[in-house]
Structure 1
Amino acid sequence: MSRLTGWWSGRGSAAKVELYTRWSFHFFMVIEIAAIGLVPVSSSRYNPLATPLGLALTLLVCAHAVLNAVLSSRALDWALDRRDRPVRLATALILLTAGGSLTVIALRASGVLDDPSTVAAVVTGLVTFTMSGLVLCVRRPRRMLYVVPAAGLATGTAVVAMGIHPGEGLGYAIGITLSGGGLAAACGFSAWLMKIVWELERSRDVQARLAVAEERLRFGRDLHDILGRNLSVIALKSELAVQLARRERPEAVDQMIEVQRIAQESQREVRDVVRGYREADLRVELEGARGVLDAAGIDCSVDSPGLVLAAEVQAALGWVVRETTTNVLRHGNAQRCAIAVREEEGAVLLTVENDGVGSPSGPGGAPGSGLAGLRERLAAVGGTLEAGPGDDGTFRVTARVPGSRTSAMPRTSLASPASPASPVSPASPASPVSPASPASPASRTEANR
């Protein structure tokens, strides 16, 4: 069943809206052929030339419907900046509509077609469905408010000019204006909605990339703050040691010992910063998961009591939250996600459940390495990981780590800023930008005071 529905469930929200919009326009082709193309051959009020003439009109409507469907597809691609505007197709559709409508009206005026309802259905249908394709080819769909009445007025004028009763001409003008205007408005709104959904999708991607870029900038700033001062001191003391050595002063050895000490201290500080960024903190990751999922339009609920866990347990569960959040964003189309942390039978249980039913696999359906890496991290602390379909068509990831509560803290809101001691790794797409920096200039200035 997953293979049959994968072509739909494997798409994102924007791709689903686009697919729905495209097939809606393709369905207009079926409606035009069924509602208008079969009218000429089904009418019995023709003269002896009715059969070949009716087939000719049916072929005219079918050709118009196919050309309009191709134009609509190309126009949607143009609206999404994937190809040039289909000007030639639009011109061909206008010429086919104008030529076919004038020919049918002329046959009605000459008495070859004596059924006014058949003529009205063919002419009105050709002009009306043409408006649905042309509205996609204009940058400002509001202009169709003037084009549709103009097309209706031109058709009514042509009817009267060929000697048909003015009442019929007025009926053509009103019918084309109302039906063409309504269909053009619906098609224009559908195309506009599709463009807006794609713009929102791109905005989400840009927002995630900016968050990662900002985190990397903060990481670079912290390294600069640590190494900049120490390297300057090392340079000055090394220069002083060189001068002292040239004078054969014994103080040069003391200066080089000081340089060695500062270099070792700098190395330790860099390791601390890198370790802080590479280790995942559970509270920070829970906050980051909810923030990123909410920004992506996914309703995320987090239930986490105040448990004080060992550092290695927090790091392992933090990686689970980070990886599963990434899977929800990449591999599924979730609308809701629930994350819960609780103590159960001497173990800490973390569950992440979403309704996107996204398979955590790589391109082409090959199993990804994310869950395998999580199992290795959990195995290092004696934990286990289970992933698979849950209840009510959901996908659930369950991590169980042996441990118990060492001390209880009141349940706090995860909206509070992240702890400075546990920054977020910039390598994760699901990592938020922490409000506090572990080695920010402001914190160092305050510490120096």
Structure 2
Amino acid sequence: MRGGRAVSVLVRGWRRDWQQRSKLERIDLYSRMTVSTMPWFFTLAWQVAPFKSDIRHDPLPLLLGLALLIVSLAQCLLSNHNIRLAYRHYLGKAVFPRHRRLPPLALVLVSLGLLAVLVGVDGVSDAGLLLMVINTPMAFATTQTLLVPVRTFLLQSLGFAALGVGVLAAAGVRGGPLGGVALTALFGSAIVLVSVRPSAWSLGVMWQAEEARDLQARLAVAEERLRFGRDMHDVLGRNLAVIALKSELAAELAQRGRPEAVDQMVEVQRIARTSQQEVRDVVRGYREADLSTELAGARGVLSAAGIECEVRGATGGELPAPVQAALGWVVREAATNVLRHGDPRHCTIRIGSSADEVVLQVENDGVAAAPDGTAGGLGGSGLAGLRERLRALEGSLDAGPAGDGLFRLTATIPLSGTETRTPSRTKPGAGAEGAGAEVTAGTEEARVVPGPAGPTALREERR
């Protein structure tokens, strides 16, 4: 009973680990596992089969055959031990130490020597000899083909075939069987070359594409930071320079007792308030989400990740600006969750509107458990923030599994009176308790009201 539970826990752990991997990581793991099992398969097929009828059933031939089998299994273990580092060497992420190539090579030479002794005591038939010759270099060649260029590997294969022919000829093999030894040795190396090398090449191309996508994303973020920095410089650069000059002038006038110093400081105060409002406008524009832009961005990002994305319905150009902004945030967060949770192949975004309401649905076929244990990230803080945005427009948000392996997010916003309602905006990192100074600018009055987080409770009023 306990053994069954342990196996069940182990299987669930493997399944959970598999589901948490990306598509590329799954392909990588599958390729490595396939290559790792190849030497074992060939050893069981070509080293064990001769025991039935090809190896003479006498103590010495059977002992030599068993020794050959043990050496072949040791080669398989060494190959599995080296295959991960060999892949990293091929991908340029690590260097395979030269000293780790010597034990597999030594085992190959030992196998060839045992095979020659087996032939010398007339303990194996020609058919069994050819099978064991094919298997002799398989485990060693599996890693070697990843460590050297193709031309070098071919030359090494020719050298091994020539060595095998020489050793077995010295052991007494003649005529057709000797030619078969050369052909089967080359055939075994060719099987490894056409099986392992293309698999590693495909993995290298896919990892390069993944790194290129990551680099593109980082460049996009850096470009957006530069753009925001340029906007802030354009807004504040001139005004800060004027404030600095007028402050110096006011200080000079104050030292001389001139009343014009007050006028200069009033002008500095006006420019500072204007700059504050301009910065707020830049930040507000930077944080606004445009629906059509977010739809295009979601389609591009999901397509780049290998997820087919389809947008159905209008792009929202006829909707009020507050509704477009709120739905834009919904599309952005939904696209992020599709990439972050599950492993979907298709994603559909539907937008439908009537005279009373607008409904946006984001549906994908990648239902999976989020890190917090909820389906599709239903309990995450991102969706909670979306609900707050939609609540300001009297809207609602529903998210959860929709059956048939689908996950659906639905945002609904009523259109009646939306033109007069705007969602509340909050400064980044500031809540109701930590708001900074509030600016109310008019033609005749401007107030600076520091909030509770301000250094003082000063209210300065100028009429």
Same fold, judged at TM 0.5 (above)? yes
2:55–2:65: 8 Å Cα contact kept in structure 1? no
Query: Counterparts in 2 of 1:159-178, with a 5 A limit?
Result: 159-178=168-187
Please tell me whether residue 328 in structure 1 is matched to residue 329 in structure 2.
Answer: no
Task: Name the counterpart of 2:241.
Answer: 232
Task: Name the counterpart of 1:105.
Answer: 116
2:344–2:367: 8 Å Cα contact kept in structure 1? yes
- Distance in 2, matches of 1:284 and 1:348, equals 18
Please tell me whether residue 295 in structure 1 is matched to residue 310 in structure 2.
Answer: no
- Distance in 1, matches of 2:402 and 2:159, equals 58
Name the aligned partner's letter for residue 239 of structure 1.
Answer: E
1:157–1:169: 8 Å Cα contact kept in structure 2? no
1:338–1:352: 8 Å Cα contact kept in structure 2? yes
Task: Name the counterpart of 2:392.
Answer: 380
1:386–1:398: 8 Å Cα contact kept in structure 2? yes
* Structure 2 unaligned blocks of 5 or more: 1-10, 420-426, 430-463
- Distance in 2, matches of 1:232 and 1:329, equals 45
TM-score, normalisation: structure 1 = 0.82
% identical aligned pairs:
43
Match of 1:131 among 141, 146, 150: 141
Task: Name the counterpart of 1:353.
Answer: 363
- Residue 404 of structure 1 and its aligned partner are, at CA, apart by 6.1
- Distance in 2, matches of 1:426 and 1:28, equals 56
Task: Name the counterpart of 1:36.
Answer: 46
Task: Name the counterpart of 1:122.
Answer: 132
Change beyond 3 A, Cα 1:404–1:149: farther
Please tell me whether residue 284 in structure 1 is matched to residue 287 in structure 2.
Answer: no
- Residue 2 of structure 1 and its aligned partner are, at CA, apart by 9.1
Task: Name the counterpart of 2:227.
Answer: 218
- Distance in 2, matches of 1:60 and 1:2, equals 35
1:285–1:318: 8 Å Cα contact kept in structure 2? yes
Match of 1:48 among 49, 58, 61: 58
Match of 2:282 among 273, 285, 304: 273
Please tell me whether residue 150 in structure 1 is matched to residue 159 in structure 2.
Answer: yes
Please tell me whether residue 318 in structure 1 is matched to residue 328 in structure 2.
Answer: yes
Please tell me whether residue 397 in structure 1 is matched to residue 409 in structure 2.
Answer: yes
Name the aligned partner's letter for residue 382 of structure 1.
Answer: E
Task: Name the counterpart of 2:432.
Answer: none
* Structure 1 unaligned blocks of 5 or more: 408-424, 428-449
- Residue 267 of structure 1 and its aligned partner are, at CA, apart by 0.5
Q: Per chain length, whose mean CA-contact separation is higher, i.e. which structure has more relative contact order (CA < 8 Å, sep 6+)?
A: 1
Please tell me whether residue 58 in structure 1 is matched to residue 69 in structure 2.
Answer: yes
- Distance in 2, matches of 1:426 and 1:203, equals 31
- Residue 28 of structure 1 and its aligned partner are, at CA, apart by 0.9
Name the aligned partner's letter for residue 60 of structure 1.
Answer: V
- Distance in 1, matches of 2:219 and 2:366, equals 25
Change beyond 3 A, Cα 1:346–1:2: farther
- Residue 219 of structure 1 and its aligned partner are, at CA, apart by 0.8
- Residue 395 of structure 1 and its aligned partner are, at CA, apart by 2.3
Please tell me whether residue 309 in structure 1 is matched to residue 319 in structure 2.
Answer: yes
- Residue 225 of structure 1 and its aligned partner are, at CA, apart by 0.9
1:127–1:180: 8 Å Cα contact kept in structure 2? yes
SS of the residue aligned with 2:367? coil
- Distance in 1, matches of 2:304 and 2:69, equals 52
- Residue 360 of structure 1 and its aligned partner are, at CA, apart by 4.3
2:134–2:185: 8 Å Cα contact kept in structure 1? yes
1:160–1:166: 8 Å Cα contact kept in structure 2? no
Query: Counterparts in 2 of 1:397-436, with a 5 A limit?
Result: 397-403=409-415
Name the aligned partner's letter for residue 391 of structure 2.
Answer: A
- Residue 350 of structure 1 and its aligned partner are, at CA, apart by 0.9
- Residue 341 of structure 1 and its aligned partner are, at CA, apart by 1.4
Name the aligned partner's letter for residue 17 of structure 1.
Answer: I
2:292–2:317: 8 Å Cα contact kept in structure 1? no
Change beyond 3 A, Cα 1:70–1:46: same
Name the aligned partner's letter for residue 370 of structure 1.
Answer: G
SS of the residue aligned with 1:280? coil
- Distance in 2, matches of 1:100 and 1:225, equals 76
Task: Name the counterpart of 2:81.
Answer: 70
Size of the aligned set, in residue pairs, is: 408
- Distance in 2, matches of 1:209 and 1:41, equals 60
- Distance in 2, matches of 1:82 and 1:233, equals 54
1:304–1:340: 8 Å Cα contact kept in structure 2? yes
- Distance in 2, matches of 1:197 and 1:187, equals 16
Please tell me whether residue 241 in structure 1 is matched to residue 250 in structure 2.
Answer: yes
- Residue 273 of structure 1 and its aligned partner are, at CA, apart by 0.6
- Distance in 2, matches of 1:291 and 1:44, equals 62
Task: Name the counterpart of 2:206.
Answer: 197
2:294–2:328: 8 Å Cα contact kept in structure 1? yes
- Distance in 2, matches of 1:151 and 1:44, equals 24
RMSD: 3.0
Change beyond 3 A, Cα 1:363–1:93: farther
Cα-to-partner distance string for 1:423-447 (whole Å, 9 max, x where unaligned): xx999xxxxxxxxxxxxxxxxxxxx
SS of the residue aligned with 1:381? coil
- Distance in 2, matches of 1:22 and 1:260, equals 68
- Distance in 2, matches of 1:331 and 1:167, equals 61
Change beyond 3 A, Cα 1:245–1:44: closer
SS of the residue aligned with 2:136? helix
